[in-house]
Amino acid sequence: MIGAVMVVGGGIAGIQASMDLADNGFFVYLVEKSSAIGGLMASLDKTFPTNDCSI
């Protein structure tokens, strides 16, 4: 068993999975096609219902 996981896709799902795994004791390679992580969510100005910015 290798204690590392590859997560493909740097949107909110990929980031969440990576953080859970890293917190749980596994090394994570987060592979993203574009030049930065964030995905769709980074372009949402405000999220319901708190109007918090999504960054």
Partner 1 sequence: MEAGRSPNIEIITNAEVKEVTGIAGNFSVKVLKHPRYIDATKCTGCGFCSPYCPMTIPDPYDQNLSQKKAIDILYTQAIPSTYYIETDYCLFLNRRECKQCTKACQSGAINFDQKPEIADYQVGSIILATGFKSINPSRLHAYRYKDAPNVVTGMEFERISSASGPYLGKISRPSDLKKPHKIAFIQCAGSRSTVSGNSYCSSVCCKYAVKDAIVALEHESDLDITIFFMDMRMYSKGLDAFYERARGAGVKFVRSRISEIKRDVHTEDLIIKYVTEDGDLKEDIFNLVVLPTGLEPSDGSFSLARATAVKLNKYGFCDTNLFLPLSTNREGIFAAGGFREPVALPDSVVQASGAAAYASELLYTARGTLISEKEFPEEFSASVDGLRIGVFVCHCGKNIGGVVDVPEVKKYAAELPDVVMSTENLYSCSEDAQSIITGAIVREKLNRVVIAACTPRTHEPLFQQTIREAGLNRCLIEMVNIRDQCSWVHSQEKEEATKKAKDLIRMAVAKARLIQPLDEHVIDVIPRGLVIGGGLAGMTAALSLANQGFECYLVEKKAELGGSLLNIYYTLQGEDPQAYLKQIVDRINQHEHIKVYTNAEVQSVDGFVGNFRTVLSISQGGERETVELEHGILILATGAKIFPTTEYLYGKNENVLLQPELEKKLALGSFVPATGDTVVMIQCVGSRNDEHPYCSSICCSMAVKNALKIKEMNPSTNVYILYRDMNTYGFREEYYTKARNNGVVFLRYDRQHKPEVTESDNRLMITVKDHILGRDVRIHADVLALSTAIIPEKDETFEKILAIPRSSEGFFMESHVQLRPVDSYVDGIFICGMAHFPKSIDESISQAKASASKAAIFLSKGQVKAEPIVSSCDTEICIGCTLCAYFCPYSAIKMTKKDKGKRAEIIVAACKGCGVCASYCPTKAISMGRFTDAQIHAQIEAFGEYE
In whole angstroms, how close is the CB of 16 to partner 1 at the nearest point?
A: 4
Rama region for 10: left / alpha / beta (φ>0; ψ in -120 to 50; rest): alpha
For the CB of residue 34, give the shortest distance to partner 1 in the complex, in Å: 6
Minimum distance of partner 1 from residue 22's CB (angstroms): 4
Q: For residues 24-53, which are near partner 1 according to CB under 8 A?
A: 24-50, 52-53
CA-based nearest residue to 11, from 25, 29, 28, 32: 32
Residues sharing a CB contact under 8 Å with residue 20, sequence separation 6 or more, in sequence order: none
- Contacting residues toward partner 1, per CB under 8 A: 1-50, 52-53, 55
